[in-house]
Amino acid sequence: MLDLAVLGLLKEGDLHGYELNKRLKSLVGGYSTSFGALYPALARLERRGWVSSMAVAPELVVDDETAEPARKNRRRSTKSKSGRTRKVYHITEAGESYLLELLQEDANNERRFRLQLAFCRFLPPDRRLALFELRRAHLVSLQAMARRDPVQSTDPYVRSLFERDQERLEHDLAWLDRLIADERANRPQEPKTDDRHNSI
């Protein structure tokens, strides 16, 4: 699942591992300071041809673009701070199509859906809507299951837990429905079935 997160972030621009980790931390709560997962993942992604890497010497860090440089160190050389040579990763074409696949997978996994949502802007609108509907179907089936066999326990803590689950499900469904409604509203120019062919 890290694959999805990493490819999604790299799709926006080249990054090195350390920076990726920081973005992961802020963008998608959960994938925190786990270099022990990130670096092996990057190595694997490269072996499979989904990303390519380039060693960049510390001196070359300098801001050509958006990054906010340290203003304090004007007196020092143009060198931006960087302890050692970094490996900057770049998503390949194969990586991009793999990302599109990952974005459309299952949706029965809470954590994965989180990531899919975080990067669903890279999907074509119809696929994005399909993803939302898939997730919705999953939540509805969970709700149906919960209703079919309700809590048999008389323990107040267990009951409270299950009540919270129900409320959370309802809340999530309402939220998803808003997402879906917005999605439909933003592209009303598709009254008929899609006539494009998708190869992925």
Partner DNA sequence: GGTTACATGTAACTAGTTACATGATTAG
Partner DNA sequence: CTAATCATGTAACTAGTTACATGTAACC
Give the residues lining the site for DNA (CB under 7 A).
1-3, 16-19, 22, 30-32, 34-37, 39-40, 42-43, 58, 61, 70, 72-73, 76, 79, 81-88, 111
For residues 22 and 156, give the distance between their C-alpha atoms in angstroms, rounded to a whole number: 41
Instruction: Confirm or reject binding of residue 173 to a second copy (CB under 8 A).
Output: no
By the rule CB under 8 A, 37 interacts with a second copy: no
User: Binding residue for a second copy (CB under 8 A) from 85, 97, 141, 153?
Assistant: 153
Per-residue contact flags (x/-) with a second copy for residues 178 to 197, judged by CB under 8 A = xx--x---------------
Candidate residues 85, 160, 184, 198; the one interacting with a second copy per rule CB under 8 A: 160
Q: How far is the CB of 126 from DNA (least distance, A)?
A: 25
Phi-psi region of 128 (alpha: psi -120 to 50; beta: other; left: phi over 0): alpha
Provide the pairing of β-strand 86-91 with 15-16: antiparallel
Q: Least CB distance from residue 96 to DNA, whole Å?
A: 19
Indicate the residue type of 200.
Answer: I
CB 133 within 8 A of CB 113: no
Spatial distance between the Cα atoms of 148 and 169, rounded to a whole number of angstroms: 15
Binding partner of 167, given DNA, a second copy, none, CB within 5-8 angstroms per partner class: a second copy
**For residue 55, what are the β-bridge partners?**
87
Environment class of 71 (CB within 10 Å of its CB; exposed 0-12, middle 13-18, buried 19+): exposed
* Among residues 55, 67, 161, 181, the one that binds a second copy under rule CB under 8 A: 161
Q: Which does 161 bind (CB under 5 to 8 A by kind): DNA, a second copy, none?
A: a second copy
DSSP state of 200: -
What distance in Å separates the CA atoms of residue 165 and residue 167, rounded to the nearest whole number? 5
Q: What, of DNA, a second copy, none, does residue 40 touch, CB below 5 to 8 Å by kind?
A: DNA
Query: Out of 118, 130, 134, 173, which residue is the one contacting a second copy (CB under 8 A)?
Result: 118
Instruction: Judge contact between 114 and 105, C-beta under 8 A.
Output: no
CB of 87 to a second copy, least distance (A): 25
- Give the Cβ contact number of residue 41 at 10 Å: 19
Residue 70, contacted partner among a second copy, DNA, none, CB below 5-8 A by kind: DNA
